[in-house]
């Protein structure tokens, strides 16, 4: 319900309450209604009932005119639910390998399913990383990490805003871990770059590779209120070349 409509309703209720108390407390006799002890006829009774019903219907018509959009949203609106797919983290095995038995993943990506279980499509749906906190291992002091403020791109597309139809579901990548790499320096020396955890579009720093991350995502669409959900990630910074081994070191879950 819009704020202006709430103000109107509040003023009506306050006016009725004030009128009631004034009618009972105000000392002037002419403000008091005059009641007759004379019996009314059946026709007068029906006329009174008809007038009461007419007034009630008029009041309902005013309410519908004021709040028709809000009333429609109660019965017809999108309903968004978040979950992980059966395989929440996938490994990227693209590329050539020197030996067939020495296949190594290039990176690991965790996805989340966003499903519309409502009876109306979710229009202009976007997902943002709203807040990110990092708690290093062996401490309880959380550090706030600055986010980009840019919406994430939906899987299989190059766009960040889509429509999710009623009964439809879409996947979106929320976290990625890259493998360690060696890079050459200008003096021909080589340096080791450790694995990097990317949450949303935020790359964690080298000193932020052991501990817990609490990521707060915000889902926006055109025809519903924003919805927030949190993801807890725990990783010790160690890389393993295959998912079966890496999953023992990397945990991710949606907080209830």
pLDDT single digits (tens) 141-169: 889 999 988 999 999 888 999 999 999 99
Q: CA–CA distance from 206 to each of 142, 201, 209, 252 (Å)?
A: 17, 16, 6, 20
Q: Where are the beta strands (DSSP E) in the chain?
A: 80-83, 89-92, 107-116, 122-136, 143-145, 162-164, 169-178, 181-184, 190-193, 196-199, 202-203, 211-220, 227-235, 250-255
When mean pLDDT is compared over 2-6, 12-16, 30-34, 186-190, the highest value belongs to 12-16
Nearest CA to 224 among 113, 153, 125? 125
- 125: burial class by Cβ within 10 Å (0-12, 13-18, 19+)? buried
What angle, rounded to 10 degrees, do the helices at 3-25 and 42-75 form? 150
Distance CA 199, CA 213 (A): 9
Distance CA 48, CA 39 (A): 13
% residues pLDDT > 70 (the chain): 75
Q: What is the mean pLDDT of residues 36-57?
A: 75
Give me the pLDDT at residue 132, please: 95
pLDDT single digits (tens) 76-135: 889 999 999 999 999 998 765 555 667 889 999 999 999 999 989 999 999 999 999 999
CATH numbers and ranges of domains, the chain: 1-11+41-75 (no CATH), 80-94+102-182+193-255 (2.60.40.10)
Q: Residue 230 forms beta bridges with which residues?
A: 216, 255
């Amino acid at each position: 319900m819009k704020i202006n409509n709430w103000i109107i309703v509040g003023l009506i209720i306050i006016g009725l309450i004030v009128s009631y108390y004034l009618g009972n407390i105000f000392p002037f006799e002419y403000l008091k209604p005059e009641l007759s002890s004379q019996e009314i006829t059946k026709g007068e009774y029906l006329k009174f009932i008809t007038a009461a019903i007419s007034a009630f219907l008029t009041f309902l018509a005013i309410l519908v005119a004021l709040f028709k959009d809000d009333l429609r949203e109660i019965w017809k609106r999108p309903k968004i639910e978040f979950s992980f797919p059966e395989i929440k983290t996938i490994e990227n095995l693209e590329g050539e390998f020197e030996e067939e038995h020495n296949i190594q993943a290039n990176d690991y990506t965790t996805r989340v399913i966003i499903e519309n279980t409502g009876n109306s499509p979710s229009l202009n749906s976007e997902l943002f990383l709203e807040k990110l906190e990092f708690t290093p291992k062996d401490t309880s002091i959380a550090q706030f990490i600055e986010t980009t403020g840019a919406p994430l791109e939906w899987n299989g597309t190059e766009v960040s805003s889509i429509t999710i139809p009623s009964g439809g579901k879409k996947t979106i990548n929320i976290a990625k871990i890259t493998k360690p790499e060696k890079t050459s320096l200008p003096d021909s020396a080589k340096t080791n770059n450790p694995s990097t955890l990317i949450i949303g579009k935020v790359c964690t720093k080298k000193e932020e590779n052991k501990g817990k991350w609490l990521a707060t995502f915000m889902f926006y669409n055109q025809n519903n209120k924003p919805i927030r959900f949190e993801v807890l990630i725990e990783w010790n910074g160690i890389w393993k070349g295959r998912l079966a081994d890496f999953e023992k070191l990397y945990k991710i879950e949606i907080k209830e």
